[in-house]
Homo-oligomer: A and B are copies of this chain.
Amino acid sequence: MNVRLPQPADFSAPPSPAQLQRWSDADAALRPARLAALRARARSEGVDAVLLTAHADARYFSGICFGPNDEPTAGVSGWLLISSDAFAIFADSRYTVQARREATLATPLDPGSDPGAAIAAWATANGVRKLAADPGAIRHAVWERIVAAGSGIELVPAKGWSAELRAVKDATEIERIAAACAVADRALAALLPKIVDGATEAELAWLLERGMREGGAEALAFDVAALAGGNAALPHGNPGARPFKNGEVALFDFGAQVAGYRSDMTRTLFVGSASDDDLALYQRVLDGQQAAISALRSAAERGDAALPSGREADNITRAAMAGAPGIYEHGLGHGIGLQTHEAPSLSRGASERPLPSPTVFSVEPGIYLEDRIGIRIEDLVAIDLAGRSLRTLTLFPSAPLITG
């Protein structure tokens, strides 16, 4: 079945320092427009300012870059306060130098030990009466403190304003996601000779991580999942001492981060051999995935008035897989960029509004038979309605592949 196994050299090399600099310059040039778009949203919603707390937002709007594990220790550093004419970034003493260097448009503000009071003080000083914030992101104690400390400040629940802006990707963002896909594609191609009977999940997870980290990834997008046989039926499994075995599947779900942007891919390979039954299941998943991708491609290439919704895309795959056993309970896909999971969502519960454009998301149906087998195929696609195109960014082949 395998005419030729994919080779690392089939995929793009990691970006050069000059390319990284061009991307950094592009971000700096785009940042004022991003701020303007958020301010326009605030104005149209009748609020005076917006509070943002995610590190992805901090990077997108201000340029400050936290490490992948900075979240737990950064505390409230990296929070943004944006009004029509002011822009502040929280940076405690550990981050003030970094904020001065990286968040050049923003004014560093020390949150001290009472960030709620610091926010209220900033609002008062900047004439902000209505402040938009996401109650699903802000901790209860901070929310209450802002209200208590800021006499007359109204906190307006707001959700997804920045996520909606970030869902629409510019060309240089898509280039970076494609570069992260190539790092992952290449690492899996290099791993193929090691995916043999007896290798353990934990060993191969580490080799795949090491391949990405030494092959252009500044970080992982998330922990590598390397799951053998029946373990592949667990949507979230931690790689352990379980060995891969001839005739079973080897499922790898992994992603890289390049210049801040992330990839996410899943391949389910067969170790040594594959039964006809398992190959038939694989084909059901692949057909289901291609059904949604084809429909989205047609809509884009025809130049429809609007793209299908994320809910419709999920429906298309479920309809194509009807009658198969163990059809996925999770969503069909998710947007990706500075975060591994971001807007838009493609799932049964997703919005019925058309997908944004241009945007990038995963398409990842699966079949899971508990304790026996799990098969998932995940690719990232970039869709551009105005450009009448859909492009698959994951270039590692998705046809069934037997290793070893």
Contact = CB atoms under 8 A, between A and B. Distances in A.
Interface in A100-150: 113, 135-144
Interface stretch (A22-30, A90-98, A376-384, A391-399): A90-98
A325 interface: no
A386 interface: no
Contacts of A71: 71-72
B137 A235 contact: no
A68 B223 contact: yes
A213 interface: yes
Contacts of A339: 72
Given A137-B139, A140-B135, A213-B206, A341 B93 contact: no
A49 interface: no
Interface in A257-307: none
A228 B312 CA distance: 53
Given A341-B73, A349-B113, A98 B213 contact: no
Given A98-B236, A236-B94, A236-B95, A69 B223 contact: yes
Interface string A321-352: 00000000110000000011100000001000
Interface residues of A, number: 46
Number of copies: 2
A210 interface: yes
Contact of A73 (B93, B206, B222, B349): B222
A94 B330 contact: yes
Contact of A70 (B67, B140, B223): B223
Contact of A136 (B141, B157, B237): B141
A84 interface: no
Interface residue SS majority, chain A: loop
A315 interface: no
A341 B72 CA distance: 9
Contact of A222 (B69, B95, B340): B69
Contact of A72 (B98, B141, B340): B340
A236 B70 contact: yes
A98 B139 contact: no
A201 B355 CA distance: 42
A220 interface: yes
A235 B74 CA distance: 12
Contacts of A98: 234, 236-238
Interface in A154-201: 157
Interface in A62-81: 65, 67-74
Across the A-B interface, the 9 shortest Cβ-Cβ residue pairs: A135-B141, A140-B143, A135-B140, A94-B235, A69-B223, A67-B223, A136-B141, A94-B236, A140-B140
Interface of A: 65, 67-74, 93-95, 97-98, 113, 135-144, 157, 206, 209-210, 213-214, 220, 222-223, 234-238, 329-330, 339-341, 349, 370
19 contacts: A68-B69, A68-B223, A69-B222, A69-B223, A73-B222, A93-B235, A98-B234, A98-B236, A98-B237, A113-B349, A135-B140, A135-B141, A135-B144, A136-B142, A138-B140, A139-B140, A140-B140, A140-B143, A209-B213
